[in-house]
Each structure stands twice: as C-alpha cells, then as structure tokens.
Amino acid sequence: MADGTQENGPQKEPTEQVEQLQPNHQGLHADAENTSEEDLNKPLVEAVSQDVAEEVGEFFEQAAEQNETNIDESNKPYIAFEHVYKSFGSFSVLEDVSFFVRPGETLCILGRSGVGKSVSLQMLMGFLKPDSGNIRVAGENICGFNEREMLEVRRKVTMVFQNGALFDSFSVGENVAFPLREKNELDEEQIRQIVKGLLEMVGVAGMDDLLPSDLSTGMKRSVAIARALASQPEAILYDEPTTMVDPLIAHLLGDLIERLKRQLHLTSIVVTHDMRFAKKLADRVLFLHEGKARFFGTLAELEHSDDPVLQEFMAMDELVLPQ
Ligand SMILES: Nc1ncnc2c1ncn2[C@@H]1O[C@H](COP(=O)(O)OP(=O)(O)OP(=O)(O)O)[C@@H](O)[C@H]1O
Ligand SMILES: [Mg+2]
C-alpha cells in the first residue's frame, strides 16, 4: 500500500484539524544546533509523557536487549554490498559498488540526485534484484531469497521511504499500531500507550486520529519513523529523512537516530543530501558518483579526502545550507 491512493476513511472537518497541525517536540532538545553528549545519552523514555513512560520503557528495553545480542555475537557486517551491478535496460545505475555496515553502526549514503541511493536501499529490502554481486542483510546473503524469506528479513530490517508510504486509509495511530498488532503480544491499552509515546518521540504528539492525507510531507516521514520503531527492528534504512522537513524537526530526527543507535543499538543507513546531517550521524560514509562508490570510509577519512569531486560536494553543501 503505497502513498498516493486515497481510499475512503473517516473525513474530518477542516476546522477540527487546524489547531492540531503543529509539529511538536516536547521533551526533546530541538532548538540547539548541537545536542550535548549528556542529552543524547538521556534515556529515550524521558521524551515521552509520564502516563506512558513505563510501557514505552519496557518496549525499548526489549528492543535494546535483542539488538545487543547482534553486536555481542560478532563484528561481521550486518549489511553489505559486494561488487554489486545494477542496470535498467541499457542504463547502468550501479557498477561494482561495495560497502558494509557493522551491527550498531550508522552508514550515511551521499550523492547527487539520480545516482542510485534509493535503488541501493530497495535492493537491500529485496524490492529490486542486482544484476550481479552479493547483497548481505541481517548477516545473510539475500540474493537467492524468495518472497517468503524476504518477509522474514523485513521483520528485522525496515525502511522509511522518501514519501513515508503510510497506509492512506488508516489513521496515524492505526499506522503506528499496525506492527504492534501484528505481533499479537500486546493488549489494546499497551498498544495505545506505545503509539502515544512513539508519536511524541518523533514530534507529532496527539495526531493519532488524523489521516496521512491531513499531514505535511515532513510529518508523514515522522509517522513512518514511529511505525518503523513499532516493529522493533534491528536496522532501519532511512531514505532522505530530512528532505522537506523544517529545521527543528530535522534536528529532532537527527538526535533521535543517534539516540536509537546509542540506546537501542540500532543499525542504520541514512540516505541524505545533507552533509551536516551526515557529519552528525555517520560512522562511515558511502559517496556514490556516476555509478561508482567514489568513496567508502570513515567520516574522518572523508573530511581529509583530497578528491575534488568530494570536496566540491562538501563545499556546495556548505553554500546551500544556511548556517
Ligand atoms: N524501477 C526503475 N526502473 C527504471 N529506472 C529506475 C527505476 N528506479 C530507479 N531508476 C533510475 O535509476 C536511477 C537512480 O535512481 P534513484 O532513485 O536510486 O536515485 P537517487 O540517488 O535516490 O536520487 P534522489 O536523490 O533524487 O532521490 C535514476 O536514473 C532513476 O530514474
Ligand atoms: Mg532517492
């Protein structure tokens, strides 16, 4: 169920919505350029209302325990491309691209529009197949996987799409509750509390009853992140989480991704045009350029690179983004 198709759902009076449609970021440090170490280490649950804190806290503890096991077991890549090629007809998008992400790390994928960033994420999710090369996800080579096997992988690794890809006929709350209901382990009151807490954490508190069509692009993205977290994944792939999001929400989402890494040991891939966002989050960076992995390395290595293409990209970014 992708974005765009409007199905029948409860319609709201426009006046009813107006007051509610302000993104909010209570409890999270959203106004500073750089969040302090201390704030990033504050338990996630401190960002949610008291009445749901216990339930949300337990939910996160479970997720953290599950993900810690991945890190303990080995330091082998959790996700990797090995010499991946991908064309559409005669149009070659990726040529011999390799990279890896270790458990609990964040990889940022950078590169200009059309370079194959979204295609790479779609291949990791098994929506597109490579022409050649190997793709590892959750430690397994997924290339020969059938749809049923991919569904198993997608329980562990979830994607936040550029457009949010929410279920249009479901309310915001129902969207976030969906993965919780699928698990069949929680009662309705627990689900309500977790949904409330997750929506607070992503800056869209109290929007449970709205439909996705009532939300701005940025808010849809926030709800998509809340839905992804509801499935207690081991890894989240974010496609342009900050595009069309106001700077405050962008900052909040950046902090959230960092907190999820530190506190839930989540493995992440973040596709972004935003160099500052990458600097804040990345353990490693992949820079795609003209079909190739022009750069794959640590953030420090990127900053010291004398590759003119990388330098130009970094310099342009400084110009485009207001300081
Ligand atoms: N299903 C498809 N069929 C044919 N061509 C495709 C398909 N998906 C993507 N492409 C092409 O592959 C290229 C890479 O697309 P992709 O969406 O990965 O770019 P991107 O790096 O994510 O760009 P942006 O920053 O604009 O989102 C583009 O030229 C696109 O037109
Ligand atoms: Mg894209």
Q: What is the pLDDT of residues 108-121, one digit of tens each?
A: 999 989 999 999 99
What percentage of residues in the chain have a pLDDT greater than 70? 86
Q: Give CA–CA dist 23/305, Å, rounded.
A: 38
Query: Is the residue at 1 inside a domain?
Result: no
Average pLDDT, the chain: 84
Which residues have beta carbons under 5 A from ligand 2 (an ion)?
Answer: 117-118
Q: What's the confidence (pLDDT) of residue 78?
A: 93
Give distance in angstroms: CA of 198 to centre of ligand 2: 26
Q: pLDDT grade, residue 318 (50/70/90)? A: low
Query: Is the residue at 132 inside a domain?
Result: no
Q: Per-residue pLDDT tens for 196-207?
A: 999 998 888 889
Mutate to test the pocket of ligand 1, among 118, 128, 131, 287 (most ligand atoms within 8 A of CB): 118
Query: Is the residue at 284 inside a domain?
Result: yes
State the CATH number of the domain containing residue 198. 3.40.50.300
Query: Is the residue at 310 inside a domain?
Result: yes
Higher pLDDT, 14 or 317: 317
Q: What's the confidence (pLDDT) of residue 37?
A: 81
Q: Per-residue pLDDT tens for 150-189?
A: 999 999 999 998 776 889 899 999 999 999 998 888 899 9
Which atom from ligand 1 is nearest to the alpha carbon of 162?
Answer: 27
Give the residue among 122, 50, 53, 39 at the shortest CA–CA distance from 86: 122
| Beta strands across the sheet bearing 79-88 | 91-101, 79-88, 132-137, 140-141
Q: pLDDT grade, residue 316 (50/70/90)? A: confident
Number of domains the chain contains:
1
pLDDT greater than 80 at residue 306 = yes
Query: Is the residue at 239 inside a domain?
Result: yes
* Among protein residues, the one whose CA lies closest to atom 29 of ligand 1: 114
Which atom from ligand 1 is nearest to the alpha carbon of 122?
Answer: 18
- The finding on whether 117 has its CB within 6 A of some atom of ligand 1 is yes
Token pair for 291 = 């079909």
pLDDT greater than 60 at residue 8 = no
- The finding on whether 113 has its CB within 6 A of some atom of ligand 1 is yes
Query: Is the residue at 263 inside a domain?
Result: yes
Backbone angles phi, psi at 195, to 5 degrees: -60, -45
Query: Is the residue at 147 inside a domain?
Result: no
- The finding on whether 86 has its CB within 6 A of some atom of ligand 1 is no
Give distance in angstroms: CA of 55 to centre of ligand 1: 41
Query: Is the residue at 268 inside a domain?
Result: yes
Q: Per-residue pLDDT tens for 56-99?
A: 899 888 888 888 877 766 678 999 999 999 999 999 999 999 99
Q: What's the confidence (pLDDT) of residue 35?
A: 78
Give the 3-state secondary structure of residue 27: coil
Backbone angles phi, psi at 101, to 5 degrees: -130, 125
In terms of residue numbers, what domain contains 192? 24-75+104-127+152-320
pTM of the model: 0.86
